[in-house]
């Protein structure tokens, strides 16, 4: 086999392979924290290539510390961090809640249909817009949609990333990886891609992948949710609260269906109070809510937060002028010796005394049908409190309640939603139009978001996940080591020797699988750049069209489903979905195999092999 030049496997290359294998095992088993493993990998690489350096032309050190540590200053890493800050700004202002509500309305309440519509929308948008801003746009939208569908965010975030990647396979501009392969072809003297050069086979692969993403993937994912209280999904308390029906408001004219109110998903209406009378479920379908009615409800903290976002004036107590400023939500328990024991909230004057309102009361899961404001409090009751951050922090010294420190959460600042939306739209527009590179647009947008007061500096720092920083830095260091020691070239030669004498479709299918596997170890961009010249050499050797093997590189390099380090969108959804490394391996490997099989069936027909 003389297709590819190269020496026998070097000691450095074998040590890099061993290090990659050990790293993947540690990532998958999480016997050590991901941060510790990532730092250990970087230190091992620094020590290895200090002892056994890899020399390039002119004696240059190809794997010097500056190269191995360059991942910490990599534009891709900085872009991801800036986009996390932008996403946090959108989330904290509730700027995109209306989009999720529109998708939910379009689906007419069908959970599966709304999820399918969202995935198709993501994939379609990714076909004409870079995957990274698409995922950043849809993270808060899908998070809100998950809440509306009573699903954990962990069941929606990974499908979001995968749908964006699949959509990006269909056009030249769908992913920067596609453009890299096209540019590399031109440098090799081969024709580059047109806008729709691989749209037809791309649609076939994407369609097969989306079937898996919509119907099977959510069933394989953990029902984790990095909720405001840090509790796992399903562990939330049921708080009793009350809603007032305002003239022309969301609840005015709402009617029950089959005895209940389906337009209030995740909310149990315990009673409807009207002119001194109390109506209990099941409700007559002739009943229509009207101004002045009061609903006594039971809902989780997340549902009450959602109601506060959309209809803050309906919850009792209404936010008054004194509630201006950064609003927060927290839980507090009534201790046995509290002055609130045996007293109603109205008589206690809780708001006047502490500057905070009580949105709901939880009492050992008992479904009481009285208004929370008329309920004498008991020791052990948990109050869901809303107010200014400084007023809630002032409860620490109160003898009336015991503040649960871990429960504090900043509420969406809806008056800043328009500002956050405009900043984000400017970032997406600048990056999508090519006016400035994505990293410049994202970093500038994050800076403006902080300077404009949409998100505080402390909140911006908290939005940055250290796991992502170290994962990217370690992955880039491993990728550089594998490239400069000849590891990728060695694997390509080994693959060609294994399929020597096989038909062109078999060689093409094997080549696709090799590139797809390596894309989950290296980055998609590194894999694309590294394997495009190899693809051209292999095509010439087996007397096949170069375009077929180049398209294989495009699709396979984008198949970074089985690892969070393969592509930036996977890293973006890792924290919001509460995923572990092994979650991507379990859920992403089947999708990689589906794309491989779909390409192996379609490519020979499309390219007439």
Q: What is the DSSP letter of 23?
A: H
Residue 468 confidence class, pLDDT cut points 50, 70, 90: low
- pLDDT at position 195 over 90: no
Whole-angstrom distance, CA of residue 353 vs CA of residue 128:
55
- Using CA atoms, how far apart are residues 268 and 262, in angstroms rounded to an integer? 10
Query: Rounded to the nearest 10 degrees, what angle do helices 97-106 and 111-126 cross at?
Result: 120
In the predicted model, is pLDDT for residue 422 greater than 80? yes
Q: The domain 326-412: what is its CATH number?
A: 3.30.70.1450
Q: CA distances (Å), 317 to each of 268, 308, 326, 356, 474, in order?
A: 19, 11, 17, 9, 50
What pLDDT does residue 397 have? 72
Give the pLDDT of residue 554: 92
Q: Report how far apart, in Å, the C-alpha atoms of 485 and of each of 176, 379, 413, 476 are.
A: 26, 67, 52, 14
Examine residue 37 and say whether the peptide bond preceding it is cis (omega within 30 degrees of 0). no
Per-residue pLDDT tens over the stretch 172-193: 777 777 877 887 777 667 888 8
Least trusted range by pLDDT, from 42-46, 318-322, 554-558, 562-566: 318-322
Model confidence at 233: pLDDT above 50: no
Mean pLDDT of the chain: 78
Q: Are the C-beta atoms of residues 34 and 475 closer than 8 Å to each other?
A: no
Rounded to an integer, the average pLDDT of 284-288 is 83
- Can you tell me which residue has the tokens 């992913």? 175
pLDDT score recorded for residue 123: 92
pLDDT grade, residue 62 (50/70/90)?
confident
Listed in order, the ranges of the chain carrying CATH 3.30.70.1450 are 326-412
Which band of pLDDT confidence, cut at 50, 70 and 90, is reported for residue 234?
Answer: very low
pLDDT value of position 310: 66
Of 80-89, 186-195, 496-505, 587-596, the range with the highest mean pLDDT is: 587-596
Q: Which of 178-192, 554-568, 590-604 has the least mean pLDDT?
A: 178-192
pLDDT of residue 592: 95
Identify which of 166, 171, 170, 167 has the alpha carbon closest to the alpha carbon of residue 195. 171
The helix or strand, by DSSP H or E, that contains position 359, with its residue range, turns out to be strand 356-362
* Token pair belonging to 130: 């870079």
Mean pLDDT of 335-356: 82
Identify the pLDDT of residue 321.
40
SS (H, E, C) 182-217: HHHHHHCCCCCCCCCCCHHHHHHHHHHHHHHHHHCH
- pLDDT of 265: 75
CA-to-CA distance for 511 and 115, rounded, in angstroms?
A: 34
Give φ, ψ of 357 to 5 degrees: -105, 150
How far, CA to CA in Å, does 94 sit from each of 184, 266, 267, 270, 419? 42, 19, 20, 28, 11
Confidence band, pLDDT 50/70/90 cuts, at residue 158: very high
Residues 6 or more apart whose CB falls under 8 angstroms from that of 247 comprise 291
Q: What is the pLDDT of residue 215?
A: 93
- 268 bridge partner residues: 298
Q: With residue 279 as reference, give the H or E element that holds it.
A: strand 277-279
* Arithmetic mean of pLDDT, 466-489: 74
Distances (CA, A) of 240 to 247, 351, 359, 535: 23, 18, 8, 63
Q: What radius of gyration, in Å, describes the C-alpha atoms of the chain?
A: 28
How many degrees, rounded to 5, is the angle at CA 253 between CA 251 and CA 255?
90
Residue 241: count of CB within 10 angstroms of its CB = 27
- Which of 168, 173, 118 has the alpha carbon at shortest distance from 432? 173
């Amino acid at each position: 086999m003389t297709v590819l030049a190269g020496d026998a496997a070097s000691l450095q290359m074998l040590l890099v392979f061993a290090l990659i294998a050990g790293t993947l095992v540690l990532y998958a088993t999480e016997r050590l924290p991901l941060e510790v493993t990532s730092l250990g990998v970087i230190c091992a690489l620094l020590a290895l290539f200090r002892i056994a350096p890899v020399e390039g032309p002119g004696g240059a050190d190809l794997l010097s510390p500056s190269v191995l540590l360059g991942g910490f200053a990599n534009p891709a890493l900085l872009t991801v961090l800036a986009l996390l800050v932008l996403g946090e700004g959108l989330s904290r202002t509730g700027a995109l809640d209306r989009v999720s509500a529109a998708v939910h309305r379009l689906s007419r309440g069908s959970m599966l249909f709304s999820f399918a519509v969202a995935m198709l929308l993501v994939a379609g948008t990714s076909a004409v817009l870079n995957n990274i801003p698409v995922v950043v746009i849809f993270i808060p939208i899908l998070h809100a949609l998950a809440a509306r569908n009573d699903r954990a965010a962990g069941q929606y975030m990974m499908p979001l990333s995968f749908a964006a990647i699949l959509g990006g396979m269909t056009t030249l501009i769908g992913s920067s990886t596609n453009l890299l392969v096209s540019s590399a072809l031109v440098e090799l003297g081969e024709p580059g891609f047109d806008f729709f050069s691989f749209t037809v086979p791309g649609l076939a692969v994407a369609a097969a992948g989306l079937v898996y993403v919509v119907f099977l993937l959510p069933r394989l994912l953990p029902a984790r949710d990095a909720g405001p209280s840090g509790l796992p999904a399903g562990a939330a308390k049921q708080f009793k609260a009350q809603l007032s029906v305002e003239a022309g408001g969301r609840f005015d004219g709402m009617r029950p269906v089959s005895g209940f109110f389906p337009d209030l998903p995740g909310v149990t209406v315990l009673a409807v109070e009207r002119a001194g009378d109390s109506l209990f479920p099941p409700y007559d379908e002739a009943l229509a809510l009207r101004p002045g009615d009061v609903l006594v409800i039971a809902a989780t903290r997340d549902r009450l937060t959602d109601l506060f976002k959309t209809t803050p004036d309906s919850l009792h107590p209404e936010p008054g002028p004194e509630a201006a400023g950064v609003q927060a939500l927290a839980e507090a328990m009534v201790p046995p010796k509290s002055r609130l024991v045996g007293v109603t909230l109205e008589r206690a004057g809780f708001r006047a005394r502490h500057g905070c309102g009580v949105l709901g009361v939880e009492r050992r899961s008992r479904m009481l049908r009285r208004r929370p404001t008329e309920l004498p409090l008991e020791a052990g009751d948990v109050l869901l409190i809303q107010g200014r951050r400084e007023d809630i922090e002032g409860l620490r010294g109160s003898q009336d309640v015991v503040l649960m420190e871990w429960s504090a959460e900043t509420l969406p600042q809806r008056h800043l939603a328009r500002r956050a939306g405009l900043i984000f739209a400017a970032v997406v527009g600048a990056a999508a139009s090519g006016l400035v590179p994505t990293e410049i647009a994202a970093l500038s947008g994050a800076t403006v978001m902080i300077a404009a007061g949409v998100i505080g500096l402390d909140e911006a720092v908290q939005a940055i996940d250290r796991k992502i920083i170290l994962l990217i830095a370690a992955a880039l260091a491993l990728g550089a080591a594998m490239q400069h020691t000849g590891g990728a070239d060695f694997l390509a030669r080994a693959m060609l020797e294994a399929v020597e004498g096989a038909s062109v479709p078999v060689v093409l299918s094997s080549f696709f699988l090799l590139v797809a596997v390596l894309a989950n170890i290296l980055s998609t961009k590194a894999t694309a750049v590294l394997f495009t010249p190899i693809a051209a050499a292999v095509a010439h050797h087996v007397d096949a069209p170069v375009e077929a093997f180049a398209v294989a590189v495009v699709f396979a390099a984008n198949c970074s489903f089985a690892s969070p380090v393969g592509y930036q969108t996977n890293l973006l959804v890792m924290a919001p979905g509460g995923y572990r490394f092994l979650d991507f391996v379990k859920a992403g490997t089947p999708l990689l195999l589906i794309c491989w099989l779909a390409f192996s069936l379609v490519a020979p027909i499309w390219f007439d092999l």
